[in-house]
Chains A and B, each alone.
Chain A
Amino acid sequence: MILQLLAPAVLIGIATSGILLATPYLYAALGEMFGQISGVLNLGVEGIMLVAAFAAYYVVYSSGNLIAGLAVAIVVGALMGLLMAFISITLKAEQGISGIGVYLFGLGLSDLLFRVTIGTPTPVNGFPSLQIPFLSDLPVLGPVLFSQNILVYGAFLFVPFSWFALNKTTIGLKIRAVGQTPEAADSLGISVAGVRYLTVTFGGAMAGIAGASLSIALLNIFQQNLTSGLGFIAVALVYFGGWRPLRIMLGALLFSMVSALQLWIQTLGLGLPSDIAGMLPYVLTIIALIFAARQIVTQPTALTKPFERGE
């Protein structure tokens, strides 16, 4: 059984679909990471992704303009992020629960809008794959790595970008400070709320791209609950990766590859019942969380704690 899974075709297959599905995870998880590092847990990513996925899909459906679709997804995602920021930062609501509210709201809203505007799932032409000259001609690696659509490349470029932004810029310094010791940042005149608004809104915009990557790049369709829990996994990946971009990327790849793996196990007729195989990614995530939880040093200690001066 193991041997069959180690066949080159299978490994390449797993890698290919792993890289594709890692795309929405990367945008959503890295965006969420910024919010969490600054101290805000946004559990509403799933809802934001849904609304943005619909928005992008709708624009592309009605105009065919992919760039406009992506831009609208970003704006819509940012607005939803802003809503989440307002609830959790200004109104200091319990973040785990307000996230569920945003999720339900997004789930309902996206479906509602879809129903009143388009109604039935209709495919659109999404981002075409973009062959990178020369590199895409490489044997094996070429098709896997260098003939994807632009959003896939973008997702992987977002990884070093995030690392750089966090560790090499002044705003990165502020974000980390605000999530670890908001009082310290506050005493230096840094607006804790301001930084958090920024990161959560940015995270929303990224969740917007994540949604768009599904509806106008990977699946090229919209349907009720298109994301099916993807956003929640993205949130888990942030913990999994211990708030570090590279590890989050590894987590995203691992998760999406294990999802592919369990489908391969079925495809090859290896006799593991589909539901049991389907548990693999979740069980794996829990196991990984056990290890991630040990990395206390990087943990944003103020995560989920609203900041109040003088207490």
Chain B
Amino acid sequence: MIQSVELKNITKRFPGVLANDHINLRVNAGEIVALLGENGAGKSTLMKILYGMYRPDEGEICINDQAVTISSPNDALRQGIGMIHQHFQLVPGFTVVENVALGLKSSRGPLTDLDVVSRRMLELAKQYGLQVDPSAYVWQLAVGQQQRVEIIKALYRNASLLILDEPTAVLTPNEVDEFFNILRRLRENGHALIFISHKLQEVMAISDRVTVLRGGRVVGEVATRDTTKQELAQMMVGRQVITRWEKQAAQETEPILRVQNLTVLGDKNLPAVKNLSLHVCPGEILGIAGVSGNGQRELAEAIAGLRRATTGSITSEGREIANHSPAHIIHSNIAFIPEERMLMGVVREFSVAQNAILETHDQLPYSRYTFFNFSAVNQTAARLVNDFEVKTPSLETPIKVLSGGNIQKLILARELERAPRFLLAAQPTRGVDIGATEYIHRRLIEQRARGTAILLISEDLEEVIALSDRVAVMYEGEIVGVLPPTTPVEELGLYMAGAKRA
């Protein structure tokens, strides 16, 4: 059983980056320590060192005041350290119990003992309130349930220190509450926990102590009860951060985007969007709140022309766009900020400049008769980089080297450059730190003021509330209520959980 874990003078260099610079961190049994910092501050790196995925260049790790060497996840598990990654490390094609049993020694030698594992797993589940069906396939589970599987996996391996890297990024408020209950129960049982999040109110709600990283260095350490959100933000970014936005009330006019009776099939060929209708007016932000997996992705893809609409219509400024090609839709003055920026928003290997013209490369002045005019491309790219404060070494740099926040800024710049009449923004700030989040929010508000209709899809309720003129809650493919942003969070949560509908 772990009494204490101490990281001493940990230093880790990557080519061109000092990710961790002599970091010290201690966590004791029965304690939750929060790790805060901007994107790239070095949080994940530090945790991966603790979990044996990276070797530190300098420094040592002590468990119960004894120096130990952790050179692989296996070592970490043996020492009682478990890690829950932001991207779940689950095999989607496996059942829950198979995922738990993976890599364990079996009581039946070379044969699997899934029954045994399943039984013990249920015991654990009962103890900590982690209900989940052992025989369900992971790909069938909601995100919150998948997370429970992750925790069960760690507990099953007798982990007494749990590292949680941005565990709440994908959860709804209700799920977060449940999740925190689980964490508290773990703390009572003498587990030690390290918790990473970009959301300050969560840090305030759950942690006992907070350590703030900046540029790979520890810039502050405080007991949670002795600090405030404002102080933490100040420590992280070096200034105050705006989270509430003043804006003019939107006008009810002729909508730009109108979705009527839309039905869309999901990957499993079942209806994911069911007979859904909505509209967005110029100068309005319509926020879509909801637990992920309730059809938001399919809705967005149908609007973007990436997924067939089986019934219903989508019109933009009166023209039908449902089941038109993505190219056609792009040319109808519609812009997208896709959900997964690395996967959908950019071609990682292309340079910043090449990514800046992803949708417009075949238009004047960037090309004529299929031949590129490079100086025109570079001019535009340079202007976008400048206007949107994208930090990049050069326009030729492959975009994958940039930070997520900066990539997101470039995508935003590219989409807004097209002066869209309608903008679909899906999860525009997921995983982005508070500084960059503030910047992106400001740009969206500005665009709204220019009369663009914006559909904001986000699992971050705070964000939806802060930006939207109206909030539509999506549940199981339907809109169960359109509410004013002033609606209490608790009530929105009920809608999101399907417990209430308008």
Contact = CB atoms under 8 A, between A and B. Distances in A.
A181 B73 contact: no
Given A186-B73, A187-B83, A189-B77, A181 B106 contact: no
Residue of A171, A183, A187, A310 with most partner-chain B CB within 10 A: A187
Interface in A178-221: 180-181, 183-190
Interface string A87-127: 00000000000000000000000000000000000000000
Given A176-B91, A180-B93, A190-B103, A171 B53 contact: no
A270 B88 CA distance: 60
Nearest to B72: A189
Contact of A176 (B94, B106, B111): B94
Contact of A188 (B73, B93, B112): B73
A184 B89 contact: yes
B49 to A, nearest CB: 11
21 contacts: A170-B106, A173-B98, A174-B103, A176-B91, A176-B93, A176-B94, A177-B102, A180-B92, A181-B89, A183-B87, A184-B88, A184-B102, A186-B89, A187-B51, A187-B89, A188-B73, A188-B153, A189-B75, A190-B103, A297-B93, A298-B93
B402 to A, nearest CB: 16
Contacts of A180: 91-94
A181 B85 CA distance: 14
Contacts of A169: 110-112
B90 interface: yes
Contacts of A170: 101, 104-106, 110-112
Residue of B85, B92, B103 with most partner-chain A CB within 10 A: B103
Contacts of B93: 176, 180, 297-298
4 closest residue pairs by CB, A with B: A189-B74, A188-B103, A184-B89, A187-B89
Contacts of A174: 102-103
A311 to B, nearest CB: 10
B72 A184 contact: no
B94 A183 contact: no
A183 B74 contact: no
Interface in B264-289: none
A156 B247 CA distance: 73
Contacts of B104: 170
Given A188-B73, A188-B77, A310-B54, 10 more contacts: A173-B98, A173-B102, A180-B92, A180-B93, A181-B89, A181-B91, A181-B92, A187-B73, A190-B102, A309-B53
Residue of B77, B92, B102 with most partner-chain A CB within 10 A: B102
B48 interface: yes
Nearest to B106: A170
B300 to A, nearest CB: 22
Residue of B90, B93, B106 with most partner-chain A CB within 10 A: B93
B116 to A, nearest CB: 12
The majority secondary structure among interface residues of chain B is loop
B108 to A, nearest CB: 9
Contacts of B74: 189
The majority secondary structure among interface residues of chain A is helix
A188 B83 CA distance: 10
Contacts of B51: 187
Contacts of A310: 48, 53-54
B386 to A, nearest CB: 31
Nearest to B73: A189
Contacts of B53: 187, 309-310
Contacts of A189: 72-77, 103
B12 to A, nearest CB: 12
B90 A173 contact: no
Contacts of A190: 102-103
Contacts of A187: 51, 53, 73, 83, 85, 89
A302 to B, nearest CB: 11
Contacts of B99: 184
Contacts of A183: 87, 89
Interface string B102-127: 11111000111000000000000000
A173 B89 contact: no
B112 A168 contact: yes
A184 B111 contact: no
Contacts of A186: 73, 89
A177 B73 CA distance: 16
Residue of B91, B104, B110 with most partner-chain A CB within 10 A: B91
A88 to B, nearest CB: 22
A171 B106 CA distance: 10
Nearest to B100: A188
B194 to A, nearest CB: 16
Contact of B91 (A172, A177, A297): A177
Nearest to B75: A189
Interface string A282-311: 000000000000000110000000000110
Interface in A131-155: none
A196 to B, nearest CB: 15
Contacts of B88: 184
Contacts of B73: 186-189
Nearest to A189: B74
Nearest to A164: B111
B154 to A, nearest CB: 10
Contacts of B106: 170
Nearest to A172: B112
A183 to B, nearest CB: 6
Interface string B60-81: 0000000000001111110000
Contact of A184 (B75, B77, B90, B101): B90
B146 to A, nearest CB: 11
A297 B94 CA distance: 11
Residue of B51, B76, B99, B101 with most partner-chain A CB within 10 A: B99
